[in-house]
Structure 1
């Protein structure tokens, strides 16, 4: 505390601190908006005679400080918009389901309750494929190739080609396209045949996913189509159980896996 005295007037200067002091201890109170320091100061008359002529004076000094303070930046800002380039790289797959149907309108799919299947040579096979997840406004699926082997090994050296570059090969077994290259469904039929020296027939399909439509023109096509952006090879289909004209079974009983068959078409998206 500092004191200055002039004629008839005395002034005092106090310094408050939140640090405890044995000589001067302030109290603190806080509400939602202010913190307030308070301290009591006693002014006591010190007599220089036998008697005291004046009372002591107790003064409660308080000082409040706001808890919320405002401040402004003294620098003016001139904002502009910038852009950030972000590249995300990934890959995905589309799932294609394949089914064998009983009827020429591609209804009545064979189910597990129909197994095993016994089919005669020249029996029409109605096969439908459906791509799941692709945008129907932008893509179509086309049957790119189909061939048969006497085993479930797609690399079996014994092979009978049926469809190549989206078109039936000469001498193929009655291939008819019902829907192909125009939408996310493909439908084809062919006649069942028999390998001369083998009892089983497995079918292997390859599909092409194209931008827009890619209906094959098998009378003039050269086998190339720039709209094709993805090709997928299927797992083998079959085997088919054949019955000859006398009704005799020409192959052993075998579980037919159509109902659970699922294949993946990899969409190798390229710039369009």
Structure 2
């Protein structure tokens, strides 16, 4: 506990500021600083005659300061100043460090999941509401093709991005002979191919005019190379070519 008294006030009233002591007369923890007199005592029961009182919420330390007259050098009673200080028994504490949670990824049980499986459909109309059944489809040369590619079960954060789409006479997408429709996410010829939706949802759509790829009346297959883009982390817009992808599937 610290009690501060203006030194000039004590002197003007005839007291010797440095004579003060607590209930234990041997406790004279007195100091002077910048015109103030400080009387100090530890907040401990019994220190310099302290009494301690407690209840459920606070603790109070009680003592007296005795100050003597500056004029009398003989026996005389000092002036007594009761002091007390009450401290709460409740407080809040905040940890200086802050905690950043993370999951341990190394070790333990790990495995490789299956590759995602896209579904590629040919639609009868520009509203993409009715599909042709699987198998051979007879379409007049010069007609528009309406093609949609979608992926299920990967969550709303992932969107489908068509990287490249092409026609071929082979059922395999790895054929060396390709007739490109979409390259680097863009139409190879806006007059022939229109990219309707790409990099915005779990499905992508485009339309293309159907002509004989090499002037021969042969069966034509459509293939697309696509990726899934995490739009919660990256810019998946097909206007930009700066992508980061998690997997690739040729279909």
Give TM-score, length-normalised by structure 2.
0.51
1:156 pairs with 175, 188, 191, which one? Answer: 175
Q: Does 1:87 align with 2:108?
A: yes
Question: Contact between 1:125 and 1:189, CA under 8 Å: does it hold in 2?
Answer: yes
Q: Does 1:109 align with 2:131?
A: yes
User: Could you list the per-position Cα deviations for residues 42-97 of structure 1 after superposition, in whole angstroms to 9, with x for gaps in the alignment?
Assistant: xxxxxxxxxxxxxxxxxxxxxxxxxxxxxxxxxxxxxxxxx997533222222211
What are the within-5 Å matches in structure 2 for residues 1-272 of structure 1? 86-92=107-113, 93-111=115-133, 116-136=136-156, 138-169=157-188, 171=189, 174-194=192-212, 195-212=214-231, 214-217=236-239, 221=240, 224-234=241-251
Give distance in 2, aligned partners of 1:233 and 1:141: 13
Question: Contact between 1:125 and 1:192, CA under 8 Å: does it hold in 2?
Answer: yes
Give distance in 1, aligned partners of 2:172 and 2:190: 21
Question: Contact between 2:123 and 2:130, CA under 8 Å: does it hold in 1?
Answer: yes
Question: Contact between 2:161 and 2:204, CA under 8 Å: does it hold in 1?
Answer: yes
Cα 1:132–1:191 shift into 2, 3 Å? same
Cα 1:116–1:131 shift into 2, 3 Å? closer
Give distance in 2, aligned partners of 1:105 and 1:148: 22
Question: Contact between 2:181 and 2:208, CA under 8 Å: does it hold in 1?
Answer: no
Q: Counterpart in 2 of 1:238? A: none
Could you say which structure has the larger radius of gyration?
1
In the TM superposition, residue 172 of structure 1 has moved relative to its aligned partner by 6.6
Which SS does the other structure have where 1:207 is aligned? strand
Give distance in 2, aligned partners of 1:159 and 1:168: 15
Give TM-score, length-normalised by structure 1.
0.47
**Gap runs ≥5 in structure 2:** 1-102
In the TM superposition, residue 154 of structure 1 has moved relative to its aligned partner by 3.2
Give distance in 2, aligned partners of 1:100 and 1:142: 18
In the TM superposition, residue 198 of structure 1 has moved relative to its aligned partner by 4.7
Cα 1:159–1:198 shift into 2, 3 Å? farther
Which SS does the other structure have where 1:176 is aligned? strand
Superposed CA RMSD: 2.5
Give distance in 2, aligned partners of 1:116 and 1:145: 23
Question: Contact between 2:173 and 2:250, CA under 8 Å: does it hold in 1?
Answer: no
Which SS does the other structure have where 2:207 is aligned? strand
Cα 1:182–1:144 shift into 2, 3 Å? same
